[in-house]
RNA sequence: GCUCCCGUAGUUCAAUGGAUAGAACGGCCCUCUCCUAAAGGGCAGAUACAGGUUCGAUUCCUGUCGGGAGCACCA
């Protein structure tokens, strides 16, 4: 149980005694240390509904507060109840955390099967800077959900069946450079794509030719299927190189093509059940009028002063299927084959309308018991403050961004590192470079647009991954110098403010990790880890460890140990490994 | 036009409806005979605007002004 939960439990018991009824009151961390460690506004909330004086009710709560509780209480302001955790309680927490790999984080009581759909690049094109957010956010969320005890299925729903294959196939047949393909498959595939893309824009007939190639592929044409198979294989190899470098793993790579056979029957079923109907030769799903507020109906749109249909198209007039069709089929598969309780889509916020429609359709298909979330995120901007356009064709490639970041890290490492060998330094530079990109992404609120500024990303000072690394390195360094063995688990005592403050933050790890999943926001964890690191650096300056003796020495070693464990565990949940030396 | 997201220090970002809005970078001062100064300790500096709900609003509601996005045969 976390400290907040213990306080809530005690407070509930006290309220039962004071008011004579069972009321669960919330306790939250105090915003300001001057007020204590935790606070509750229960007296103010309850007094209002009972027409009581909030301070008078708070007085009663304080009077009934058991002396043996983990915290002392006091009243402040209009009726806040402030809790101050006893130092010995923090000491006991640190003592047990020292030998607990979970650092006090309990598995959830109701583990669920969560399908996490993220990254999902279109194949035949290399990943670019725009793929960073989904890939890194999704990976981190999957790690955190797993750590909390959920059954997580990660699925890379790659775009392997769409328009771009019509283009690549057309270019493959017309301008393929076979030797170039053998020498550098990804570069040649990109060239083919760009060639077709540019040609389509310039020439209507080429665009039509590309579209026909796609239709042929989707109808099972043998030649096009062979080209597609080879493109897909080459593309996947290229993608996997990046995922390996990022240490991002998928349980499945069930792309759009995996659902191809399900699409025609799905559309027939929806037509038969009157959930969809024909419109201008296409098959669409319309509003069913179940949403009273028309502005909230995802199948209606206001145009020229009137509400008109904005249907979800599931079959084009040429017989081809849409993104939407595949998504419905995919959702049914995840429910039926994987027994998913939740499906979380880590996808650009620009697709929010699509997901509103998809989730509404899921409801009509009886899939509404599932927890479906569109985990939207904002746009990555250039240094000019303008969005990087996703299909401009000349965005920086993800692999290049990683290389640049590592190169920048290498400069700093060579200048400042205490590592001896070139191998160690190269390894550290790779670690810091990749981590800088990941940490920058995860430290931002996911819905914010953020400016992609490589110089700042790899600045390596301030609120960055290396700052966290450095805390860990300082801690580990002490243990390397230690002559006696460190045995975790012996009692400790906390005296200095810096010790108590560090212990207070470390004790909150168990509250912070679950909070990330409430709104799928890893930046809660990055903020917390920076706070821990800051507290550790202050502590490190204020409280000598190796010069101390007796219980003080053991206590300080324990804090160093728990700090290192917390940082390493927290960073691991973000997909970032931590170095022992730097 | 309609819908959604976003407007916080000079800059980049934080803040489950709580108390004197936190960091970092940049700027100005200090601190290495001391466990890694990639650090620590100080100083200065912000909620776009106008209403409303509330004991209490950066947060919720309405409107205005800015920025971005979406609005059926693309994914």
CATH number at residue A312: 3.40.50.620
Same-domain pairing of A173 and A152: no
Radius of gyration of chain A (CA): 28
- A175 and A139 both lie in a single domain: no
Task: Please tell me what DSSP assigns to residue A389.
Answer: P
Per-residue pLDDT of A123-163, as tens digits, reads: 877 788 878 899 999 999 999 999 999 999 999 999 998 77
**Does residue A318 lie within any of the structural domains?**
yes
Find residue A387's DSSP bridge partners. Answer: A381
Whether residues A370 and A304 share a domain: the answer is yes
Rounded CA-CA distance A169/A174 in Å is 9
CA angle A205, A206, A210 (to 5 degrees): 120
Residue A539 (CA) to nucleotide B34 (C1'), in angstroms, measures 14
Least confident of A94-98, A117-121, A214-218, A401-405: A214-218
Give the separation between CA A352 and CA A118, rounded to whole angstroms. Answer: 15
Would you say residue A389 has pLDDT above 50? no
Which run of H or of E encompasses A83? strand A80-85
Nucleotide nearest to A535 (CA to C1'): B40
Pair (A168, A146) in one structural domain: no
Is A417 a member of any domain?
Answer: no
Question: Token digits for A573?
Answer: 């949940």
Domain extent, residue A59, equals 3-85
Please, what is the average pLDDT of chain A?
Answer: 91
Question: Strand B: which residues 329-368 of A lie within 7 A (CB)?
Answer: 349-354
Q: Are A504 and A572 in contact (CB under 8 A)?
A: no
Q: In what order do the strands lie in the sheet with A342-348?
A: A151-155, A113-117, A342-348, A371-377
Residues A193, A331 share a domain: no
CA distance A159 to A156: 9
Q: Do A147 and A282 have their domain in common?
A: yes
| Residue A305, pLDDT score | 73
Q: Which of residues 88-117 of A touch strand B (CB under 7 A)?
A: none
Closest residue, CA to C1' of B13: A444
Question: Does residue A108 lie within any of the structural domains?
Answer: no
A198 domain-assigned: yes
Q: Check residues 242 to 301 of chain A and report those whose beta carbon is under 7 Å from nucleic acid strand B.
A: 256, 279-282, 284, 295, 301
Mean pLDDT of A163-171: 88
Q: What total of structural domains would you count in chain A?
A: 3
A38, A46, A56: which is closest to A22 by C-alpha?
A: A46
Contact A384, A433 (CB under 8 A): no
Q: Are residues A138 and A283 in the same domain?
A: yes
Better-predicted residue by pLDDT, A304 or A27: A27
Q: Show which of A222, A246, A270 is a domain's final residue.
A: A246
> How many angstroms is C1' of B13 away from CA of A62?
39
Lookup: tokens for A565: 């464990």
Per-residue b or e along A35-44, where b marks 16 or more CB atoms closer than 10 Å to that residue's CB: bbbbbbbbbb
| Domain closes at, from A202, A225, A246 | A246
Sign of the torsion formed by the C-alpha atoms of A296, A298, A304 and A309? negative
Q: Which of residues 308-327 of A touch strand B (CB under 7 A)?
A: 309-311, 313, 316-318, 320, 322-323
Task: Provide CB contacts within 8 A for A466, sequence distance 6+.
Answer: A432, A435, A436, A460, A582
Provide the CB-side half-sphere exposure for A435 (13 A, CA). Answer: 27
- Tell me which of A355, A381, A407 is where a domain ends: A381
**Residues A542-560: what's their mean pLDDT?**
96
Q: Which nucleotides of B are covered by protein (CB under 7 A)?
A: 1-7, 12-16, 18-20, 22-26, 34-41, 55-56, 67-75
Length of chain A: 582
How far is Cα A61 from Cα A73, in angstroms, rounded to an integer? Answer: 9
Q: Is residue A15 part of a domain?
A: yes
Gap between the terminal Cα atoms of chain A: 36
pLDDT digits (tens, 9 = 90+) for A50-101: 888 889 999 999 999 999 999 999 998 889 999 999 999 999 999 999 999 9
Residue A286: nearest nucleotide (C-alpha to C1'): B72
Q: What is the pLDDT of residues A398-433, one digit of tens each?
A: 888 899 899 989 988 998 899 999 999 999 999 999
Tell me the CA–C1' distance in angstroms for A461 and B25. Answer: 9
Same domain, A340 and A268: yes
- Indicate whether A318 and A274 sit together in one domain: yes
Query: Are A186 and A154 within one domain?
Result: no
* CA-to-C1' span, A69 to B14 (A): 33
In this structure, is residue A423 part of a structural domain? no
- A407 located within any domain: no
Judge whether residue A461 contacts strand B, using its CB and a 7 Å cut-off.
yes
Question: What's the pLDDT band for A165 if we cut at 50, 70, 90?
Answer: confident
Residues A194 and A219 occupy one common structural domain: yes
Q: How far apart are CA A111 and CA A238, in angstroms?
A: 35
Residues 172-211, chain A, CB closer than 7 Å to nucleic strand B: 211
Per-residue pLDDT reduced to its tens digit, A484-526:
999 998 999 999 999 999 999 999 999 999 999 988 999 999 9
Reply yes or no on whether the pLDDT at A390 is more than 60.
Answer: no
Q: What is the pLDDT of residue A546?
A: 96
Distance A401 CA to B23 C1' (A): 27
Distance from CA(A131) to C1'(B46), angstroms, rounded: 33
Nucleotide with the nearest C1' to A296 CA: B3
Spatial CA neighbour of A114 closest among A303, A346, A323, A292? A346
- Domain match, A208 and A311 both: no
A549 touches strand B (CB under 7 A): no
pTM equals 0.94
Nucleotide with minimal C1' distance from the CA of A166 is B74
CA of A518, C1' of B6: distance in angstroms:
21
> Does residue A500 belong to any structural domain of this protein?
no
With vertex at residue A459, the alpha carbon angle to CA A458 and CA A464, rounded to the nearest 5 degrees, is 85
Q: A539 CB contacts (<8 Å, ≥6 apart)?
A: A498, A499, A501, A502, A559
What's A19's domain CATH number? 3.30.1360.70
Selection from A338, A344, A327 nearest residue A141 by Cα: A344
* Mean pLDDT, residues A296-308 taken together: 83
Q: Is the CB of A51 under 7 A from strand B?
A: no
Closest CA to B71 C1' — which residue?
Answer: A301
């Amino acid at each position: 149980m976390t400290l907040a939960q213990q306080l809530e439990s005690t407070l509930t018991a006290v309220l039962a005694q004071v008011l004579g009824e069972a009321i669960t009151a919330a306790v939250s961390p105090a915003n300001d240390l001057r007020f204590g460690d935790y606070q509750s506004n229960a007296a103010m909330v309850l007094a209002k509904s009972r027409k009581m004086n909030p301070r008078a009710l708070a007085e009663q709560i304080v009077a009934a507060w058991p002396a043996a509780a983990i915290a002392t209480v006091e009243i402040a302001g209009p009726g806040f109840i402030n809790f101050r955790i006893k130092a010995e309680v923090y000491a006991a927490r640190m003592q047990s955390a020292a030998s607990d790999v979970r650092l006090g984080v309990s598995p959830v009581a109701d583990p669920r099967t969560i399908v996490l759909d993220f990254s999902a690049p279109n194949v035949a094109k290399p990943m670019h800077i725009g793929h960073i957010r989904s890939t890194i956010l999704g990976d981190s969320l999957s790690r955190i959900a797993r750590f909390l005890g959920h059954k997580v299925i990660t699925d890379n729903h790659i775009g392997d069946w769409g328009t771009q294959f019509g283009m690549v196939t057309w270019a493959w047949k017309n301008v393929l450079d076979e030797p170039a393909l053998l020498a550098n498959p990804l570069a040649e595939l990109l060239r083919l794509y760009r060639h077709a893309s540019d040609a389509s824009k310039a020439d209507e007939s080429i665009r039509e030719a590309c579209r026909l190639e796609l239709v042929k592929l989707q109808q099972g044409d043998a030649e096009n299927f062979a080209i597609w198979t080879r493109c897909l294989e080459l593309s996947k190899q290229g993608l996997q190189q990046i995922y390996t470098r990022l240490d991002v793993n998928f349980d499945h790579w069930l792309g759009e093509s995996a659902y191809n056979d399900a699409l025609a029957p799905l559309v027939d079923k929806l037509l038969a059940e009157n959930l969809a109907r024909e419109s201008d030769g296409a098959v669409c799903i319309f509003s069913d009028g179940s949403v009273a507020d028309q502005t909230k109906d995802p199948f209606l749109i206001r145009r020229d002063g009137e509400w008109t249909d904005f249907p979800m198209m599931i079959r084009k007039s040429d017989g081809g299927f849409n993104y939407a069709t595949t998504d419905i089929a995919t959702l049914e598969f995840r429910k039926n084959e994987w027994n998913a309780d939740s499906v979380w889509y880590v996808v650009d916020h620009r697709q929010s309308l699509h997901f509103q429609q998809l989730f509404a359709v899921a409801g009509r298909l009886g899939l509404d018991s599932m927890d479906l979330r569109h985990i939207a995120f904002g746009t990555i901007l250039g240094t000019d403050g303008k969005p990087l356009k996703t299909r401009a064709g000349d965005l920086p490639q993800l692999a290049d961004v990683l290389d640049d970041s590592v190169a920048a890290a290498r400069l700093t490492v060579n200048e400042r590192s205490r590592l001896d060998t070139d191998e160690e330094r190269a390894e550290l530079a790779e670690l810091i470079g990749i981590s800088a990109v990941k940490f920058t992404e995860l430290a931002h609120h996911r819905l914010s647009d953020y400016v992609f500024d490589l110089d700042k990303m790899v600045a390596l000072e301030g609120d960055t991954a290396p700052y966290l690394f450095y805390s860990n390195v300082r801690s580990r360094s002490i243990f390397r110098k230690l002559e006696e063995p460190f045995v975790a688990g012996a009692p400790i005592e906390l005296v200095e403010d810096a010790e108590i403050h560090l212990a207070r933050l470390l004790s909150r790890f168990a509250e912070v990790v679950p909070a990330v999943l409430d709104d799928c926001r890893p930046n809660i964890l990055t903020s917390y880890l920076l706070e821990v690191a800051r507290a550790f650096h202050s502590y490190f300056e204020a409280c000598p460890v190796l010069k101390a003796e007796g219980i003080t020495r053991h206590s300080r070693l324990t804090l160093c140990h728990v700090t290192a464990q917390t940082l390493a565990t927290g960073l691991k949940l973000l997909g970032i490994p931590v170095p022992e030396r730097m």
